[in-house]
Structure 1
Amino acid sequence: MSRVEPQTDEIPAQGIRDEYEQLTEDVRRYRYAYYNEDSPLVSDAEFDQLYRRLEEIEALHPELVANDSPTQEVGGEVSAAFAPVEHLQRMYSLEDVFSLEELQVWIGRATASVEKQGRVDELTWLSEVKIDGLAVNLLYRNGELVRAATRGDGHTGEDITHNALTIKDIPRTLKGSGHPAEVEIRGEVFIPSKAFLELNEQMVEAGKAPFANPRNAAAGSLRQKDPALTAQRPLSMFVHGIGAREGLAASSQSETYALLQEWGLPTSPYFKVLDSYDDVLKFIEHFGDHRHDLLHEIDGIVIKVDDFALQRALGHTSRVPRWAVAYKYPPEEVHTKLLDIQVNVGRTGRVTPYGVMEPVKVAGSTVEMATLHNQDVVKAKGVLIGDTVVLRKAGDVIPEIVGPVVALRDGSEREFVMPTECPSCGTPLKPAKEGDVDIRCPNAKSCPSQLRERVFHVAGRGAFDIEALGWEAAIALTSGPGPDPATIGGRPAPEGPGVLTNEARIFELAEDYEDPALRDALADVKVWREKRSKGVGTGEWELIPYFWTKPTAKTPSKPSATTQKLFKEVQKARSQPLWRVLVALSIRHVGPTASRALATAFGSMDAIRAASEEQLADVDGVGPIIAAALTEWFAVDWHREIVDTWAKHGVRMADEVDESKPRTLEGLTVVVTGSLENFSRDEAKEAIITRGGKASGSVSKKTDYVVAGESAGSKLDKAEQLGLRILDEEGFVRLLETGEA
C-alpha cells in the first residue's frame, strides 16, 4: 500500500466529513455485529475495504480523528452478559497487509530497524497460518488454569472460564514443572472445517438458524451462558503466544512453542521459522494452494520476528506490534443476494438445485450461479430465497453458497420447494432406487435437458475433446419447440429446430454438413444475446443466428468460421482412443479411470459388451458398482443404438495394440502429480497404462512410484511422509523405457 501523506493545511470538504461520519458509523456497527453478536452483516473483504478507506481519510485529514475512532481501538467491546476481566498484559491487534508488495514494504521497514541496531544477522521470521477463530487469553497460576477471557478491547475481555473448561484441548493443569508463578497463554479457539458443516446441519435440523462461518460458530459457542451447551460444540484451540511471562526462560517465539508443547498445550502444526523474504513468499504460496486441505479455515499468514529481544526493540504502536503482520489472502467469501433457487437436470437425470444470485466478483471472477447439490443440502444450509448469503469460491473451485446472513432477513424470504415433475419434460421425478437422496428424471431418452447435458459431455476434455462444441453450442444443437423451459441456466433458450434429437447423430451430422436441408436447419437456429455498448451489457436482448453469421446490408448470412471448425473437429474426434468413447457414453459411475482400465483389459467395445458382470467387476479399478452400471446401460436398446451409430460413422471402437511399447510397468502403481514439461496429465496416464501399469489418482502405501512435476502439492507431501520413491520427469521417462528409475 502506498503511503498517504497527511495534508493538514487543507480543510476537508463537507462531502469528506459526511463520508467519514458514515464510515465511522458503519465500521462500528459492523464490528459490533462481528465481535459481540457473532453475526457478521458484511463479508470480511467488504469490512476491510471500508476500514482502509477510513484510514485513508484520517491520514489525509488528521483533524477529523477522534479518540474513539474505530482505527484507535482493538477488537470489539466487552459484553455486559459476562464479567469483565483485566488482562495482565494488553492483547494487541495485528496490522493487515493485502498484497505481496505491501508485505515487502513492511518486512523492509522492520529489517531496516533491526539493521540500525547491528543485529540483522539474528533476524528470522516465524511464519504461521492465521486461524479464522476467536482470540482467547488463558491465565495459569502455578500451572493451574484460573481464568479464560476473550480479547475484548485489548485491555478488558469477557470472563468465559466455565465455557473454556469444556474444550478438551485446554488443559486444566500444565504438564512438567518449572512453570512461571503467573503466565498468560494466548491462542485461537476454532471449529474444524468438517465439524462446522456437521454442526450447521444439526442446527437446521433443530429448526435453528445456521452459523455464517466457522469463526462465528466458535464465538457464539464460547458466549453461551450455559457451559453445558458450549460442551456440545466441537471446539478446538491452538495457542500461539504468551502475554505476561515473568520468569519465562525462552528467548524466542519458536522456543516458546516448544515449551508450550512440553506443558501439554495445543500448538499449530502449520508454522516454520524462515530466514528470508523469499522463504516467506514460498510459505505463503504453499498454504495459499492448500488452505482448504487444513484442519481449520484460514484467511492469511502471520509473520513475526522470532527473537523476543528484537520484538522488544521494535516495540508497538497504540494498536499493533511493529514486529508482527498479517498477510491476508485475496477474499474468497463475499455477500450477495440469493434471487432464486432453480433446478438443473443433468446428463444422468439427476435433479440438482442451484442458486441464482446477484452477480458478484469473488476470487477474481464474476459469479451469479452456484450449486446446492440436492434438497437435503438446501435444508442443511438453511438458506431461503431472498436471503443475503455468504458465497465462497476458492480459486478455480466451483462457487459454493456457505449459508445465510440471518441478521439481514426482513420476513420477505421464502423456502425452496423441490419440484415433483421434471422442469424440462414434465416426467414425474423419483429416486433411482429406494434410499437415494438424489431424485432423477427417468425419461433419459427424450428429456431435452438430459440430451443437452449429454451432448455437452460428449465434447468434454475427458471424452472426445471436441473444440468449439461448448455449452452454448450444445444448447443450440438440441433446443427446439416442446415442453423445455423458456430459460436455460438463467438465460433465454434458443429458438429454431433442434438439429440433434439424440447424441447418436453427432457424427452423422458432421458427415451431412453439406446437405442443404441441414444447412437450412442450422441457419434457422437463433440465440438470445445481450446488446453491448463499448463492451458493456445494455440490458437489451436480441435474437441472432448461432451457427451462421449475422447478415448485414452488404453481406448475406453464411456458416460462421466457428461452425465450420466445429464440424471439422467432430470428424477428427472419431479417431480418439476407446477409453474416451466409453467416457462419452455418459454411463453412470464410468469416468476416465474406469474407462482406461476397461479399454486396457478388453481392448474393444465388442469385448466389453460381451463380458459378464463378474468379468467386468474383476478388472482392477472397476469393481461391482461400475460393472452393474455397465451391464444395465448396455441392456437398453437405444443405448446400444448410440454405439452402433457411432461405429457406423467411423468412431474408433477398438484400440490398436502398440507392440512398440513394452510392458515395462506390469504390476506397478504410479501416481503423477504437478505439471510435467513433455506430458499432459492425460498423456502421462496413457503412457503408464499402455505399458501395463496402473495410473492411480491417490497416494497410498501400495503406490510404487510418485512422479512429481512443477507445483506438486499434497500428494507429494504424503509420498514423502510414507517414504515412497519419488521421480522427476527424467526419472519417469527412464521408468517408462526400462521399468527401472
Structure 2
Amino acid sequence: MDIQKTILDLREELNLHNHNYYVEDKPTISDFEFDQKLKQLQDLEAQYPEYFDENSPSQRVGGTITKNFQTVVHENRMYSLDNSYSKEDLQDWEVKIQKVLGNVPLQYTCELKYDGASISITYENGKLSKAVTRGDGFQGDEVTNNIKTIRSIPLKLKGNYPQKFDIRGEIILPFEGFEKMNLDLIEIGETPYSNPRNTASGSLKLQDSAEVAKRPLDCLLYFITGNNLPFSTQFEGLETARNWGFKVPTQSKLANNLDEVFEFINYWDVHRHDLPYETDGVVIKVNDFNHQNELGYTAKSPRWAIAYKFKSEQVTTVLNSISYQVGRTGSITPVANLQPVQLAGTIVKRASLHNADQIEKLDIRVGDSVFVEKGGEIIPKIIGVAQRGNQLEPTKYISHCPECQTELVRKEGEANHFCPNFYGCPPQIIGRIQHYISRKAMDIEGLGGETVALLFNNNLVKDYSDLYELTVDQVIPLERMAQKSAENLVNGIEKSKEIPFERVLFALGIRYVGETVAKKLAKHYKTIDALSKASLMDLILVDEIGDRIAQSVIEFFENQNNSTIIARLKNFGVQFEIVEKHNPNATEKLLGKTFVVSGVFEQFSRDDLKKAIEDNGGKVGSSISAKTDYVVAGENMGPAKLDKANKLGISIISENDFINMLNES
C-alpha cells in the first residue's frame, strides 16, 4: 500500500466533504462515515509523521495553545465603511462619486452587511498561510490556528488562483449554534452569552484552538485584495472566490442603478429575519475596480463603498438613574442607567445622554418609561419619553465635577460641560495615562487600563512620564501581579521608547489632535521642539489644521506642567523627532511640485507611483486644484479629472513622461 498516496487521497476526500457540508450545505456522506475517515487519516498521520501537513483536515480539531497573539501589520489596510441611514444619503453619495468620475454609467454590487468579527486571511500558493483580526485597521492579532478550526474556511484552494492574496470576511456565529451553546451553559448553571457577534469575536482570542473548534463558527467572505487578480469587478471577484472554494453568500446582486439598489434594500429589510445569522444592513460597492481606484479613500473609508444600515430596533424601558462620567479631557458625559432590556441581540443597561442640551430637549426624568434604540445598531440611545414617571421637576444638570467637586465650565459654542481641574481630577489623569499606553499610541505590552488605575491609586504614577521610573519591585504588590507579569510590564514600558514620533505626539493627548492630525504635524515640524515654538498662524497654514486644533496645540505647549512632562520623557529616551529613513535612491528632482495620480499604470502600482513622487521630493495631492503642477494619467483616467485639469491648464503627463522626469540629470 502506498501510504503517502492514501494519506493524500484521504485529505482530498475529507476537504471535499467539508466543502459540501459547510459551504454548499449539501452533505454527501453521513457524520459517522466522515468521522471514520477522519480517524483513519489521524491514525496514519500519527504512524507516519514524515507526511505531516499543517493544512491537513485533521488539524481542524485544534489543540494548539497560543498564550500571546502576535501583532501583525496588514499588508493592505482594512478600512471601515461610511454609514448611511436613508435613501437620500445614498443619492448624495452617488452625486459625490459622479463628480469625481464624470457622470459615467455605474454598476453597484449589493451585499448583505454581516454582523460578525472582521478577519483577513492570506493564501499563498493556494494554501492558508495566515489569518489576522481587523484590529485598528492598520494591524491586528494573528489568529491562524483558531481560524483553521472553522470548517467553512478552505485550507487548500481549487482551480487557478494568484500566488498570493488576502480575502476579507466576517466570522459569525449562526443563531442555531449560538442558542445551543447557551442551552448547554444554562444546563450546567453557567451564565449564557449575551449575543452572537461578541461571542464570535471572543472565540477568535481563545488561547486553546481545541476550544475554538468546539464552537459552531462560520465565515462569510466578501472581498479579495492583492496584485494581478484575475478579475476586474467586485461581482466577478465574488463568483471567482466561490469557484476557489470560499463560502461567499449568494444573496449578493449586481445593480445597474440606485433604483435597483433600493429594491435590494427593501427586500432584505424584511427578509433579513429569515437568515440563519445576524445582518444589520446592506453594503453597496462601485463594481468596477478602475472606478474604485479612481475614487480612492478618505482617511478612514473607501469612497467607492458605503453601508446602508437598516432602521434600528426600538424598545421601551425605565430610566432608573442618571450618572455622570468624566473623560480624559475633562468632558462630562451624562449616562442613563436603565432597567435591563433586550435590544438587537444584546442586553442594554446603559445609554449615553450626550449633554445637557439633549437632556433638556428630551425632557427626560428619572422614573420615566423611555424609548431606546441602537444608533447604527451599535450604541444604545434614548430617543424619547414613552410615559412620564413620578418626577415632577425637570432634570437638573450637575454643576460640579462628580469626582473632584470642581465647578464645571461650559465654553461658548461647546456642547459639553468640562471639569477644569485638568491636573487634579483623578479620572482625567488616569484617562490620559490610559490613552498614552493605548494600542494606537505607545502600545505598551503588559499594561492595561485597570493596571493604570491601580498604579495611580497606589501613588506610583501621577502622569504618564512617571511610568518610565517604575520598577518590578514597585509593581509586584499590585493586585493580580506576579514576577513575570511585572517584568513584562516594565519591559513593555522600556520598549515603548522605540515608538515613532507621530504616535508619541498622538499619545500626549492634545485635545483635537487625533491620529491623522498627529501624523500631519509630525511630518511638517519634524521635532517636538519645532512644533512647540510654532505660532497660531504657522499652525493654521499646515494642511488641514484649523483654528480650533491650532489653538489647542498652542494652549498645550503654553502649560508648564506639559513642558515639564515632555522634558522628562525626552530624558527617558522617548522619540520626539522624525527619524528619517535613508533612501539611497531619493532625490529632490520634484521638490516643490504637486502631482495628482489618476488611472491604471503598467510599470507602477498607484501606491508605488505615489511613493516615487514623494521619494524624489514631490507632493501627492488627493484632488486637482490650482496648486496642482502635474496630473500623471494612466489608462481609464476619470473624465471629470481630465476635464478639470484641462480647464485649469494643468500639465497632463503619461507614465513614461514621469519616468523620463526622474531620469533627467
Shorter-chain TM-score tier: 0.3 to 0.5
Highest CA radius of gyration, 1 or 2?
Answer: 1
TM-score (norm 2): 0.44
